[in-house]
Every structure is written in structure tokens, then in C-alpha cells.
Amino acid sequence: MKRSSLIIALATSIITTDMANAQSTQKRYESNPFTLVYDGAITKNEKGKVNIHPVKYKLNGIEIAANVYTPLNYDPSKKYPAVAVAHPNGGIKEQTAGLYAQRLAEAGYITIAADAAYQGASGGEPRHTDKPQYRTEDIHGMADYISRYPGVDAEHLGVLGICGGGGYTLKAAQSDKRFKAVATLSMFNSGEVRRNGFQNSQLNTVQERLKQASDARAQEEVGAKPVYSGVASITDEEIAKTPTDLYREGYEYYYRTHAHPNSTFLYTTASLMDLMTWDATDQIELITQPLLMIAGSKADTKYMTDEAFSKAANAKNKELFLIDGATHIQTYWKPAYVSQAVNKLLEFYKTNL
């Protein structure tokens, strides 16, 4: 057997083993009253414990669906620091954003994880619109809502952005000084990747893809159905053949082990007009708050964290923290890596909030 065939066979075997729990994952989604799909998720609210509160609020006329987590022995008459958690591209509040929000609440923070406008359980049409200005506004909106939540000390508000949410968090924090401490996990610069391709693999097709995006918008403007980019579904064999850790493990996470019907890899092709002309690091020197950027040492997305970190010249007490051995997606769910990230976040927020 050729080496490449052997690798694919081994990967398929591993995926088959990992996917053996896919049916139970679906059962977990269906049985959890809050449709949470991460390990250790809350199944019921109990007095004295960390509780989850599904909420809805309006942002620029669009209804936003969010979950607020309150800490042990929560007393709304007291004051607590708070953290807003921005979810990854394709992700929703019931997945890794919820996991980190819950873990931070266990440590005494009031936290919020909201579905982006046009995505998840939030409103907005066309569905799966993914424009940077909207995602950035989502983060401002979480600050609006959680700052008024009973028990929140608005002077002690932090933010955590995961993956694409990390890139949008860097942009939001440039102007939103309500965030006193800024953290990212496995940061993904959506504009850079949509423009240049992952790891700069599509530099030769930038103009062609901009033309496709422009044509897609023109079709929408005359009433045609939106055109979508991304992946709607994928087979186990296709996952096994995916060469990059980010996308292979991402497909496993979103379509198998932590699948949720509100989560999708799709986005409107017309969104690329905005995405491809945007960059998370533009004017990043405006970030003056304390900054923590966390990434896996083996993440094939680490180059984006490195680029942003070096450009954030005015961030106070900035720190780059690497999780040894972790890939991008493994920081979403693998207990040992999640614990390392949470412990570092708690150290950071305790110092700066």
C-alpha cells in the first residue's frame, strides 16, 4: 500500500472511531433542554449552582438569541465581573462559546454567548450572511446587553473571541473601551483568509473571486435566491482526505462530534465583497487594553495570531500563550487543552478586571 493511501486509510479509521459517538451526540443535542452539545453542559438550573438563562434582545432591529450564564450562588444584588464570548465562524452559542462561557461562570463571572445576527437562532435575512461589520456589531451588542444585566459590574467587563470571533473581537476592542481586558483563542482573521486563501493559497484568484461575489450580490438585488459558499455537508471519506488540520478537524467537530442544526459552514457568496476587503489587524494599534492571545502550538492557524500579536503595538501588558501540542480545533473541546486555556484566562481576567 502506498504511503498516501495508508495515511488516508488510517485517518478514515480514526474518524470512523471518533464518529461512533455521532449518534449519541445527536441524542445529547435532543435531550439537552438548552440544546447544548459540549461535554459537561448544564442540563437543568439548580439553586446555588451555575445556571443558564436563554435571552433575546434587539440589535439594530434584529432579534439576537443569547445565553447568559450566572455563577455559583448568584445574587443579583451583588456585583460581578462579566465576559462576553464571541463564537467561531460557523459556530453557535451551544458549542465551544458556551463551553468557555460556562467554565468562566464556574469561576465567578457572569458571561454571555450570543448567536451572530443572520446566524444560529438569531434573526436576519438572508440567512448565513457573514459580514465583518455585522459580526463586530454583534460584540458591541453583547456589551450593551450584559452591561445592564442584574449583578453585572459594567466597569469590569472583558471579552473573549474564539476563532473568527477572535478576529472580530480584535476589531471591536479597537473602539469599544467598555472592554477592559481583551482575549482571543485560536484567532482566525476571516478577511485575510477569505481574501488570500488559507495559508495564502489563493493569491492568484483574488480578482476572480471578487467578481463572483459581485455577481452574487447583483443576483440577490434582482430577487434571486442567495448564492452560498462553503460546505453544506461532507462524507467521512471527504473528511479523511482533507489535508489541513483546521478544516479536517473542523468538519469532524461541526458535522459529527459536536453537530447542531443551527451550525453551518455556509455563508453568502455576496458576503465576500465585505470580507475580502477587511482585515482584523487594520488599525489594531488602537487596542490599548490588556491583551491575551492564546493559540495551540501545533495549530495551522497560529500564523494569524502571530501576525496580529506583533502588530498590536499599543496593547497593555500583551501576552501570547501557547498550549503545547494543541491544534486549532482541539482548543474547542479537548479537556486538557480547554483547562489550560481557561486557567490562563482566569489569571488574565483576575489581573485586569
**Predicted pLDDT at 10:** 33
Three-state DSSP class for 318? strand
**Residue 143 domain boundaries:** 3-352
Percent of the chain with pLDDT over 90: 89
**Predicted pLDDT at 12:** 36
Residue 110 scores a pLDDT above 90: yes
Q: Say how far residue 283 (Cα) sits from the centre of its chain.
A: 22
pTM of the model as a whole: 0.92
Quote the number of domains for the chain.
1
CATH of the domain at 309: 3.40.50.1820
Three-state DSSP class for 179? strand
**Predicted pLDDT at 26:** 59
Q: Say how far residue 64 (Cα) sits from the centre of its chain.
A: 16
**Predicted pLDDT at 30:** 84
**Predicted pLDDT at 15:** 36
Tell me what the mean pLDDT of segment 255-264 comes to: 94
Residue 97 scores a pLDDT above 70: yes
Q: Say how far residue 346 (Cα) sits from the centre of its chain.
A: 19
**Predicted pLDDT at 8:** 36
Residues 68-85 have pLDDT tens digits of 999 999 999 999 999 999
Nearest C-alpha neighbor of 234 from the set 32, 15, 13 = 15
Residues 200-235 have pLDDT tens digits of 999 999 999 999 999 999 999 999 999 999 998 999
Three-state DSSP class for 62? strand
Q: Where are the alpha helices (DSSP H) in the chain?
A: 3-19, 22-31, 96-106, 132-147, 164-175, 190-196, 206-221, 236-241, 245-252, 272-275, 302-311, 330-333, 335-352
Nearest C-alpha neighbor of 322 from the set 309, 335, 311 = 309
CA 214/CA 268 separation, integer angstroms? 11
Residue 344 scores a pLDDT above 80: yes
> Using omega within 30 degrees of 0 as the cis cutoff, is the peptide bond preceding 54 cis?
no
**Predicted pLDDT at 69:** 99
Residue 184 scores a pLDDT above 90: yes
Residue 111 scores a pLDDT above 70: yes
The 10 Å Cβ neighbour count of residue 6 is: 10
Residue 3 scores a pLDDT above 90: no
Residue 28 scores a pLDDT above 70: yes
Q: Are 167 and 311 in contact (CB under 8 A)?
A: no
At 250, list the grid cell: 473542523
**Predicted pLDDT at 21:** 45
**Predicted pLDDT at 14:** 35
Report the chain's mean pLDDT, rounded to a whole number. 92
Exposure of 253 by Cβ count < 10 A (0-12 exposed, 13-18 middle, 19+ buried)?
A: buried
Nearest C-alpha neighbor of 308 from the set 297, 292, 322 = 292
Tell me what the mean pLDDT of segment 156-174 comes to: 98
Q: Are 275 and 188 in contact (CB under 8 A)?
A: no
**Predicted pLDDT at 5:** 39
- Residue the block writes with cell 482526505: 241
Range of lowest pLDDT (133-142, 150-159, 260-269, 304-313) = 260-269
CA 272/CA 230 separation, integer angstroms? 11
Q: Are 262 and 115 in contact (CB under 8 A)?
A: yes
Within 8 A by CB and 6+ apart from 271, the residues are: 129, 130, 131, 213
pLDDT classification of 24: cutoffs 50, 70, 90: low
Residues 317-332 have pLDDT tens digits of 999 999 999 999 999 9
Exposure of 243 by Cβ count < 10 A (0-12 exposed, 13-18 middle, 19+ buried)?
A: exposed
CA 21/CA 351 separation, integer angstroms? 40
Tell me what the mean pLDDT of segment 76-98 comes to: 98
Residue type, 283: Q
Residue 349 scores a pLDDT above 80: yes
**Predicted pLDDT at 9:** 37
Beta strand 290-296 pairing with 179-185: parallel
At 349, list the grid cell: 481576567
Residue 246 scores a pLDDT above 50: yes
